[in-house]
Structures are given as structure tokens and as C-alpha cells.
Structure 1
Amino acid sequence: MARLANVSENTVSRVIRDKGAIAPETRRRVIEAIDALGYVPNRAAGSLASSSSMIVGVILPSLSNIVFPELLRGIHAGLAGTSYQPMIGVTDYDLEKEQQLISSLLAWQPAAIITTGFDHTDAARRMLEASKVRVGELMDIDRRPIDLAVGLSHRGAGRAMARHLMRRGYSKIAYVGHDWDADRRAHARYLGLCEGLGDVGLALVAEHRVDGPSSTLSGRQALAAILADGAEIEAVAFSNDDMAVGGYLHCLAAAVPVPDRLALMGFNGLEIGQALPKPLATVLSNRFAIGKTAVETLLKSPDRAFEPAIIDTGFSIIDGATA
């Protein structure tokens, strides 16, 4: 690393420990060398050997979205009765922040690191691949994992949404969603929805996406906007239940009969959707099972298998009363 950065080993050490005065250009070269090599300092080296084996790093994109606390609840259930403790970081859907968290967690030589999804910076992926710890990538199974993937096929869930709506007799189907840059799984569901419709020669009759994350307010405003455009719509598939609940509230306020005039369908199977006057038609993702299964599988063996593993926890349709 010192050779790659063209500095002394002592300078590398001071940059890593953030000690002493370092010229900005020198610091930049050392950090670039660290990223290129996927190097992670071992901060547990001076501690008891056991301190590095009892940590499970958990990196979540959000704690305000109920989906991820449920995932965390499953992880806690999987750790119950063991001596392992979770060390939790939140990225706010920022991959650079995830990279920093991965570097910090790997420095403590955890027994495992759990992330959400397959999207990482190149440097973060190199660190995870180069490390010897178990790595679980959760919520998605549509790509090849570094070590272990536990979750569901979001593309498959989107196709299932299309089939469910078509079985109910709807052919003029629209889509309302949120920002795909921060939520690639929502994009995968959209693609699956379009593929499912395309299988029988149909296409979306309208679509509307809001900038930023999903919310009930965004869902309400987005449904109002797409209906105002005047397209003939029989049913709306939403990117998730947050958005769909907002759409239902718009229908209540605008006196749009659901599902007689307009059918609504969400994704996630959140409790709030089932508490509506008419329970939401949705796709149930097994978030608790994903977290619990992942941590139990990772802790069964300290060593990665020769080939990455995928565990499909599946999904199911909740018929509800809105479609």
C-alpha cells in the first residue's frame, strides 16, 4: 500500500489512525490506495480475540421505513440465545455512507456483516469480497451475492401483481411510484409488472413517479395527479403500501369508489394497509423471516461456502378488498 501511494509505511499508518498532520495530496493518495486494495485496518487487534467474533454488523438504509425495523426484529430473534451482539448502522440510502460503515465495521473483524440489497460502491464491494467474514445481502435474490442472499425476487413480485390484477378482470392498469435511484427494488417490481402485462399483450396505460422516497402524502398526491391527466384507468399498482395507502386516502377524499371505480394494489403487506376500511390488496414480503433466516444461516459456519448461496423466502398475495 505504501508503494502504491508512494509514501512511507509510517505515513500510511498515520493516515489510517488519523494521527498527526498529513498533507491533503498525501492523504488523498493513501485513501485511493486503500480503496484500490480493499484494505481494512483491524481495530480489534489490540483487544481480546473473542471481541472480534461476537459482533454482527447490520447496515440498514432506513429506520423510519417500517420495513427495515421488521427486518431488524427478525435479526434480533435470530441472535436470541446466542452471545452475538448486533452493531447497527444506517445509510439513508447513501452508498458512500454505506462504504464508510462497511469499512468501520470490518475494522472490528465481525463474525458477519448484513447489508440490504446488492448495490455497493466498487470500493465497498472489494472490501466485502476481500474480507474473510460472512456477508449477507438481504431483501433481494435476483443477482449473484458475495456470500449469501436471503429475500425474494422483486421482479417476480411485480409479475405476480400484474397477474393478480388481470385475474380480477382489470386490463387498463397504471403505475404510481417513488424514486428508483434510492430504491432499486421498487424499480425491479416495476419491470416485473411491465413484463407481466407484456406477456398477454398489455402495457401500462399511465404512470407517475414522485421524486424522493415513498410516503402516504406522496401516494395521495401522485394518484390525484395521474387521475387528473384523464387516462382511462381501472386499476393502479403502487410501488409499495405507503404509496397505496395515500392513494386510498385520495379516493376517500375525492369520493372515488374503491374498487368499483378504481382498484388499488400495493407491496409489502404492512399492517396499516390491512387496517384501512377496505383492507389493501398487496404482496406480502416476509421481512421478519428474511432477517431471522439470514443471521441464523450466517452464524452456522464461520467460513464462506465455495459458491454463494441464495435463500428464497418468497412472497404471497393478500387479496384484500381494494382490487
Structure 2
Amino acid sequence: MSQETTPPPRRPLTLRDVSEASGVSEMTVSRVLRNRGEVSEATRSRVLETAKDLGYVPNKIAGALASQRVNLVAVIIPSLSNMVFPEVMMGISDVLDDSPLQPVVGVTNYKPEREEKVLYEMLSWRPSGVIIAGLEHSDASKAMLRAAGIPVVEIMDTDGEAIDSVVGISHRRAGAEMARAIVSARYKRIGFLGTKMPLDHRARKRFEGFTQGLAKAGLEIADQEFYSGGSALAKGREMTEAMLKRTPDLDFLYYSNDMIGAGGLLYCLDNGIDVPGQIGLAGFNGVELLDGLPRQLATMDACRTEIGRAAADIIAKRVSEGAENAAGEKIVLTPQISFGDTLKRLKK
């Protein structure tokens, strides 16, 4: 685990900041943001555009001073159906249970515009901190996070520039590590099966690291299959069947997550395919739910609970010490490969 520091966030924005930037009075800004009173359409548009560019979020706590905070931590994640994030939430709750802080969850469904909306609503209640998945956000979301004046921890991924603090793993390194393990086991005809990745940035980075790792060994992906939608056993079976019928000489399948990998494993076992002799398999995430499968799928633990605990610990310490604007931290965790029963380990 490595740890670095990043510059502290700016102070919270106020109505005066929006007023000065838009060239209208604070009263007019207030009217526009509360949608009260008569304001020309041109002025309204200018104020709203300025507020968005600055990242200003109005305070919904009636009668409160702009600096007042509530004992809530906004936790913004892309999915609750994905088994990864409940474990992250367990880690967050474990830490915050021993503090006055209470996590409140918002779900974005991997949509940047939804993330903007969720973030805007949560920040309007003046939480004490934000924990948010990923490093990729829209310009509007980044502006709000930078302007909030509270601790912000981006989680799950460390391959990029953080707004404040960040806790996670390097997904590019994780993909490269799995490629090295597969190459070391002397597999050569490798297929990749995963989600469509324009918005699943962490899966995309693992894929990039994986292909780069193969390239160092003079190999490239022989076939690939992508799908949209949640992780599912049925989808894994369908994709595996389609790929093996299309490219029957493959000797390894790497899945972007354990759930579709488990579906692929069940397909192979049902069809008498020797795993890992004829074909090897590996997924990602280390989902404990799959421990009851007939064979243990090779995978890599994403350090989910540890990420949640470390992120919550950063928020709790900075709030309790009154150090909301302290320099951010970078905590990089190191996942380990579990070879299971589907990835050969050759004796040296």
C-alpha cells in the first residue's frame, strides 16, 4: 500500500461568488436559484450558467449559515445490483458506525448526467464529506466537488488525477498482472469477454493493462465479445458459447468480472470441456458468493471492503480534527491473484 498527498480543496463557494462572477446582485442570484421572484430570462440563464461553471450548489438547510454541515457522508456509487459495491458500503459503515457520521447513498447507474443530479442534490444538504466511485466525472461534477469545501474521496481506481483524496487499486496494473499469470501458464490463444466499456472506466483500464501485458509477451487477444447490462451468469454462458463456436481453438478466456466468468465456467463443465487443461478461465473481483461452484474460478480480489474502510477513515479523521481542507491522500491497495481451479500454475 502506498500513500501520497494532493493539494487541499478550495473553500466553499457562496452566493457572493456567483454574484460577482455573473455581474448581478446576491438577491438576484438567490431569486434565480430558489426560482422565486421576477427575473429576466437572460439574467436567469447567465446566473444558472455561472453557477454551473463554478460548481456552486445552494444550501437547502433552512436558516443555516453557509458554512454549517450536517453529520452525513454522501456516498455516490454506480450500482447496488453489482455485488462489488455492497461490500464497499460494509467497509464504510464499519468505520462510520464509530463516529457521529452517517452514510447516505446515491446511485448513478454509470450515467454521468445522473451522477451530476445525485451529486447536486446531496451537496445541497451540506454533508460533511463525499465518497464517490471512480475518477472520471463530467466537468460540472468536478466543479461541484472542487467547490464543496469538504473532504472528497474518490474510490475504486487510482489510475488518474484525484480531486482531493483517492483510495483504490490500479486497474491497469491488475489487468497486466493477470496477463502475466496467463502467459506464465503457457496459454497462447486468449479470448476476452466483458462489458461494453465507454462508461465502465475501470473495466476499460483493466482491458488496456491486459492487452499491454500480452503484448510484452508477443501475444494479442485472439477474439473478444462485449455486452451491455448487469453482470449475469446467463450472459456469461451465452457469450462463452458464442465465442467458442466462433473461435474453437482458444485455450484461455479472461472475463471482465466474476459473474460472467462463472457463467462461462458452468457452460464449459456442462459441455465436457476440460478446465483448465483444454481451456483456462479467469475473472475479476473475488466474489465470495461463487465459492460454492463445482470449480473455484481464478480471479483477483479488488480490495472492496478495505477501500470502503480507508475512504471512510479519511473522512472521519478530517471531520473530527477540523481539517476539512487538509491535503488529500492517495492510498493504493494491491490486489492478489487467486488461481483457483481454472488457471494452471506450472512448476518452475
Given the two structures, how large is their TM-score scaled by the length of structure 2? 0.86
Q: Deviations over 1:179-238 (max 9, x none)?
A: 212311001011111111111111111111113343222221111111111252111110
Q: 1:59 deviation in Å?
A: 0.5
**What amino acid maps onto 2:292 in structure 1?**
A
Which residue number corresponds to residue 317 of structure 1? 337
**What amino acid maps onto 1:191 in structure 2?**
E
Q: 1:6 deviation in Å?
A: 6.9
Which residue number corresponds to residue 128 of structure 1? 145
Whether the aligned pair in 1 keeps the contact of 2:82 and 2:231 (CA below 8 Å) is: no
Counterpart-to-counterpart distance in 1, 2:198 and 2:298? 26
Moved more, 103-112 or 141-150: 103-112
**What amino acid maps onto 2:255 in structure 1?**
F
Whether the aligned pair in 1 keeps the contact of 2:254 and 2:282 (CA below 8 Å) is: yes
Q: How much is the aligned-residue C-alpha RMSD, in angstroms? A: 2.2
Whether the aligned pair in 1 keeps the contact of 2:55 and 2:140 (CA below 8 Å) is: yes
Counterpart-to-counterpart distance in 2, 1:172 and 1:47? 63
Counterpart-to-counterpart distance in 2, 1:3 and 1:136? 30
Whether the aligned pair in 2 keeps the contact of 1:152 and 1:312 (CA below 8 Å) is: yes
Would the alpha carbon gap of residues 303 and 8 (structure 1) be closer, same or farther in structure 2, given more than 3 Å must change? closer
Q: Deviations over 1:14-40 (max 9, x none)?
A: 332244677776654432221112111
Which residue number corresponds to residue 118 of structure 1? 135
Counterpart-to-counterpart distance in 1, 2:186 and 2:196? 29
In the TM superposition, what are the counterparts of 1:2-151 in structure 2 within 5 Å?
A: 2=19, 9-19=26-36, 27-44=44-61, 46-47=63-64, 52-151=69-168
Say how many residue pairs are matched: 322
Of 220, 233, 236, the match for 2:237: 220
Percent of aligned positions with the same letter in both sequences? 39
Moved more, 5-14 or 82-91: 5-14
Counterpart-to-counterpart distance in 2, 1:97 and 1:244? 29
Moved more, 2-11 or 55-64: 2-11
SS of aligned partner of 1:285: coil
Q: 1:109 deviation in Å?
A: 2.2
**What amino acid maps onto 2:236 in structure 1?**
G
Counterpart-to-counterpart distance in 2, 1:217 and 1:23? 55
Structure 2 residues without counterparts, runs of 5 or longer: 1-17, 344-348
Answer yes or no: is 1:275 the counterpart of 2:267.
no
Counterpart-to-counterpart distance in 2, 1:66 and 1:322? 22
Q: 1:256 deviation in Å?
A: 2.0
Of 315, 319, 325, the match for 1:304: 325
Which residue number corresponds to residue 239 of structure 1? 256
Q: 1:310 deviation in Å?
A: 1.0
Moved more, 90-99 or 25-34: 25-34
Moved more, 256-265 or 131-140: 256-265
SS of aligned partner of 1:260: coil
Which residue number corresponds to residue 202 of structure 1? 219
In the TM superposition, what are the counterparts of 1:181-192 in structure 2 within 5 Å?
A: 181-192=198-209
**What amino acid maps onto 2:340 in structure 1?**
G
**What amino acid maps onto 1:310 in structure 2?**
K
Whether the aligned pair in 1 keeps the contact of 2:237 and 2:264 (CA below 8 Å) is: yes
Q: 1:88 deviation in Å?
A: 1.3
Which residue number corresponds to residue 9 of structure 2? none
Given the two structures, how large is their TM-score scaled by the length of structure 1? 0.92
Moved more, 45-54 or 147-156: 45-54
Structure 1 residues without counterparts, runs of 5 or longer: none
Would the alpha carbon gap of residues 215 and 30 (structure 1) be closer, same or farther in structure 2, given more than 3 Å must change? farther
